């Protein structure tokens, strides 16, 4: 993913201390290196790990509920539930080729702890409110120098935050050089409410309050006018979209798909997330494919959104997102021998339009193999599945 439509055949990636040392023809490896370990995948495609730019991993457990609601989520918002939900989501993400995810949940310490234990990269959203601020700063301090875990502030949606509170968040983020991740233009109702209360659209309100900077990660942007997109481009904010969620929320589906395509054309930093609802699958294959089909972008552009695009949105593009010297070896290996992608012609096109989690064979994060031939090397799935099923019983009995 370094250059458009570039596919290198018969190549190898050399990894040392978790980072990419060299990318070179496979025939040259033996002559240059005395490798401690060699992994061969002759019928495969190697690419950067996918980056899930926004999710609420713990809500995975609410699949067991007949009708997940906000009230139900508040009732089961404890640390134990969050931890088990995040672990179940991590298992699903690894099987789907995801090596990094950005998450928002009221228990950020559990998300960070689960990601650390499983060795996956995570950007953890820290709730910011009067009640949660001390805990948020404690989590930020605990993981301040962690190689895999980073943090951003995650305030509530704009319609639930006062101007004064937003001004304090902007000041704090600037003082700590911290990112901000929040919903923006997720629904027509949000925009109408902002126009009624403040006389401007939400993105302009944030601009007036000093929050529109390259440190802002706006989630959804399902309802964006040309003026909104120009303001986003001019201020350098990043945006992550989820095609399915955006289409569900949009009053006019054509508007929901036109906005991301326009963002891509405008050069706005753009990534894809699996979404923040209980019904969302924790992978990027369907959102990536849907985005490509509805926006008309190329397979390469769609794959870029799920890899280097997501890295840029999360401020990690200097570390991950492409196979380049010095970057972390966050890798996803795809088996091209299966029936869903055979016969192989244009590998990029078939990967995006025919691929899915069933063809992901191996995953590495910082050079550590977390999935080998579709088997977890570190994660105890039997235990996690048992815990998830226990929650299903409890949700059924008391939900």
Handedness of CA 250, 251, 257, 263 (dihedral sign): negative
Whether 343 is in a domain gets the answer: no
- What rounded mean pLDDT belongs to the chain? 91
* Sequential DSSP letters for 281-327: -S-SHHHHHHHHHHH---HHHHHHIIIIIHHHHTT-TTTSSS--TTS
Whether 261 is in a domain gets the answer: yes
Cβ atoms of 173 and 180 within 8 Å: the answer is: yes
pLDDT: which is higher, 382 or 294: 382
Work out the pLDDT band at 69, boundaries 50, 70, 90. low
pLDDT of residue 143: 97
Q: Does residue 34 register a pLDDT over 70?
A: yes
> Closest Cα to residue 344, out of 332, 352, 353, 336?
336
Q: Does residue 44 register a pLDDT over 50?
A: yes
Whether 366 is in a domain gets the answer: no
pLDDT, tens only, 169-185: 999 999 999 999 999 99
Task: Of 111-115, 242-246, 254-258, 333-337, give the lowest mean pLDDT range.
Answer: 254-258
Whether 321 is in a domain gets the answer: no
User: For the chain, what percent of residues have pLDDT higher than 70?
Assistant: 93
pLDDT of residue 250: 42
pLDDT: which is higher, 209 or 290: 209
Work out the pLDDT band at 66, boundaries 50, 70, 90. confident
In the predicted model, what is the mean pLDDT of residues 252-280?
Answer: 76
Rounded to 5 degrees, φ, ψ at 92 are -65, -40
Q: Does residue 119 register a pLDDT over 90?
A: yes
Please tell me whether the peptide bond between 343 and the residue prior to it is cis, using omega within 30 degrees of 0: yes
In the predicted model, what is the mean pLDDT of residues 100-116?
Answer: 96
> Closest Cα to residue 136, out of 151, 146, 122?
151
Work out the pLDDT band at 65, boundaries 50, 70, 90. confident
In the predicted model, what is the mean pLDDT of residues 230-252?
Answer: 75
Q: Does residue 254 register a pLDDT over 60?
A: no
Q: Does residue 127 register a pLDDT over 70?
A: yes
Domain hosting residue 294, numbered range? 50-313
Work out the pLDDT band at 244, boundaries 50, 70, 90. low
| First-to-final CA distance of the chain | 45
pLDDT of residue 248: 47
Residues in a beta bridge with 13: 23
C-alpha–C-alpha distance, residues 131 and 136, integer Å: 10
Number of independent structural domains in the chain: 1
C-alpha–C-alpha distance, residues 94 and 371, integer Å: 7
DSSP-derived pairing of the beta strands 121-127 and 149-154? parallel
Whether 60 is in a domain gets the answer: yes
The residue whose two tokens read 């929320």 is: 249
In the predicted model, what is the mean pLDDT of residues 250-273?
Answer: 73
Work out the pLDDT band at 251, boundaries 50, 70, 90. very low
Work out the pLDDT band at 390, boundaries 50, 70, 90. very high
pTM for this predicted structure: 0.95
In the predicted model, what is the mean pLDDT of residues 193-217?
Answer: 97
Helix axes 253-266, 226-235, angle to 10 degrees: 30
C-alpha–C-alpha distance, residues 164 and 170, integer Å: 10
State the DSSP code for 65: S
> Closest Cα to residue 277, out of 353, 203, 220?
220
Residues in a beta bridge with 181: 217
Considering 23-32, 145-154, 274-283, 333-342, the range whose residues carry the highest mean pLDDT is 145-154
Whether 100 is in a domain gets the answer: yes
Cβ atoms of 195 and 201 within 8 Å: the answer is: yes
pLDDT of residue 247: 43
Please list, in sequence order, all residues whose beta carbon lies within 8 angstroms of the beta carbon of residue 182, skipping any fewer than 6 positions away. 154, 155, 156, 157, 158, 216, 217, 218, 219
Whether 394 is in a domain gets the answer: no
Q: Does residue 237 register a pLDDT over 80?
A: yes
In the predicted model, what is the mean pLDDT of residues 279-298?
Answer: 87
Q: Does residue 294 register a pLDDT over 60?
A: yes
CATH code of the domain containing 300: 3.20.20.140
The tokens for 35 are 């490798």
Whether 55 is in a domain gets the answer: yes
């Amino acid at each position: 993913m370094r250059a458009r439509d570039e596919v290198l055949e018969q190549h190898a990636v050399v990894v040392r201390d978790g980072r990419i040392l060299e990318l070179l023809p496979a025939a040259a490896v033996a002559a240059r290196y005395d490798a401690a370990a060699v992994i061969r995948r002759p019928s495969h495609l190697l690419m950067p790990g996918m980056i899930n730019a926004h999710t609420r991993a713990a809500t995975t457990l609410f699949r067991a509920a007949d009708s997940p609601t906000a009230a139900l989520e508040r009732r089961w918002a404890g640390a134990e539930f969050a931890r088990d939900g995040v672990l179940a989501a991590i298992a699903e993400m690894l099987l789907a080729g995801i090596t990094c995810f950005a998450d928002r949940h009221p228990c950020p310490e559990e998300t960070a702890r689960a990601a650390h234990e499983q060795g996956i990269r995570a950007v953890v959203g820290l709730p910011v409110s009067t009640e949660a601020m001390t805990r948020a700063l404690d989590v930020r301090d605990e993981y301040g120098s962690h190689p895999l875990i980073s943090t951003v502030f995650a305030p509530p949606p704009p319609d639930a935050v006062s101007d004064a509170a937003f001004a304090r968040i902007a000041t704090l983020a600037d003082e700590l050089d911290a990112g901000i991740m929040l919903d923006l233009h997720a629904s027509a109702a949000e925009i109408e409410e902002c126009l009624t209360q403040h006389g401007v659209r939400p993105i302009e309100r944030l601009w007036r309050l000093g929050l529109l900077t390259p440190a802002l990660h706006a989630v959804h942007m399902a309802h964006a006018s040309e003026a909104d997109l120009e303001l986003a481009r001019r201020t350098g904010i990043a945006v992550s979209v989820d095609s399915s969620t955006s289409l569900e929320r949009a009053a006019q589906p054509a508007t929901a798909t036109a906005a991301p395509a326009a963002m891509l054309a405008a050069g706005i930093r753009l990534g894809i997330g699996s979404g923040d609802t209980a019904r969302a699958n924790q992978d990027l294959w369907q959102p990536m494919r849907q985005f490509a089909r509805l926006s008309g972008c190329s397979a390469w552009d769609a794959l870029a959104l799920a890899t280097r695009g997501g890295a840029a949105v999360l401020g990690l593009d200097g570390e991950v997102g492409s196979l380049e010297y010095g970057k972390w070896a966050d890798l996803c290996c795809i088996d091209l021998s299966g029936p869903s992608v055979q016969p192989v012609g244009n590998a990029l096109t078939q990967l995006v339009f025919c691929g899915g989690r069933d063809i992901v064979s191996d995953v590495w994060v910082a050079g550590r193999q977390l999935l080998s031939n579709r088997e977890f090397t570190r994660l105890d799935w039997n235990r996690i599945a048992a815990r998830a099923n226990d929650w299903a019983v409890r949700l059924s009995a008391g939900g």
